[in-house]
């Protein structure tokens, strides 16, 4: 059970009301978004920048690989909301994570996502070398950036006990 009450339009700051007015009141139906909206800068930093990073990841590597990365990190972090969301994203693409055959690049993204989620201080050197052979340095930076953003999103959700 969340221990921070989600914002309502009536309790929102002037800056947050402007976001709600722009995006529509449906935004408040999500407990996570309504909690992020306790503060406009937090909402922008976690939610909006997350979507921007996701779009860049899709542009540089593909939606499928981006969703795989975000799914495995969310799963490793025991993030209920994000795991369910990315499970749906994968399913919409015809992917059952347990039975789908993945390309070598996809397997690499999955391995990298798990390594980051499990122990980001100790990414194996051989994994770094394989990443550099498969992806450009810009792609690796964006993949890693998305890993950081989804991890922050997972932590926010888990720490505040959102469902």
Per 3-state DSSP, what percentage of the chain is helix, strand, and coil (rounded to 5)? 70, 0, 30
Query: What is the pTM assigned to this prediction?
Result: 0.93
- Please return the burial class of 130, using the count of CB atoms within 10 Å of its CB with bins 0-12, 13-18 and 19+: middle
Q: Which residue is associated with the tokens 């002037």? A: 14
pLDDT at residue 35, rounded to an integer: 95
Express each pLDDT in 112-149 by its tens digit: 999 999 999 999 999 999 999 999 999 999 999 999 99
Question: Whose CA is closest to 53, among 155, 141, 160?
Answer: 141
**Which residues of the chain fall below pLDDT 70?**
none
Which sign does the torsion angle of CA 154, 159, 162, 163 carry? positive
The fold of 40-159 is: AhpD-like (1.20.1290)
What's the pLDDT score for residue 44? 94
- The whole-angstrom separation of Cα 153 and Cα 79 is 9
């Amino acid at each position: 059970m969340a221990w921070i009450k989600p914002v309502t339009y009536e309790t929102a700051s002037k800056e947050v009301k402007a976001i709600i007015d722009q995006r529509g009141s449906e935004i408040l139906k999500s407990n996570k978004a309504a909690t992020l909206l306790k503060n406009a800068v937090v909402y922008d930093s976690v939610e909006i920048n997350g979507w921007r990073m996701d779009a860049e990841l899709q542009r540089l590597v593909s939606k499928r690989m981006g969703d795989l990365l975000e799914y495995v990190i969310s799963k490793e972090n025991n993030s209920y909301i994000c795991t369910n969301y990315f499970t749906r994203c994968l399913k919409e693409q015809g992917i059952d994570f347990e039975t789908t055959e993945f390309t070598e690049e996809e397997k690499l993204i999955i391995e990298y996502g798990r390594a980051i989620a499990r122990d980001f201080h100790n990414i194996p050197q051989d994994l770094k070398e394989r990443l550099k052979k498969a992806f450009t340095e810009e792609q690796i930076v964006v993949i890693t950036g998305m890993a950081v953003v989804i991890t922050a999103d997972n932590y926010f959700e888990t720490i505040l006990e959102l469902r």
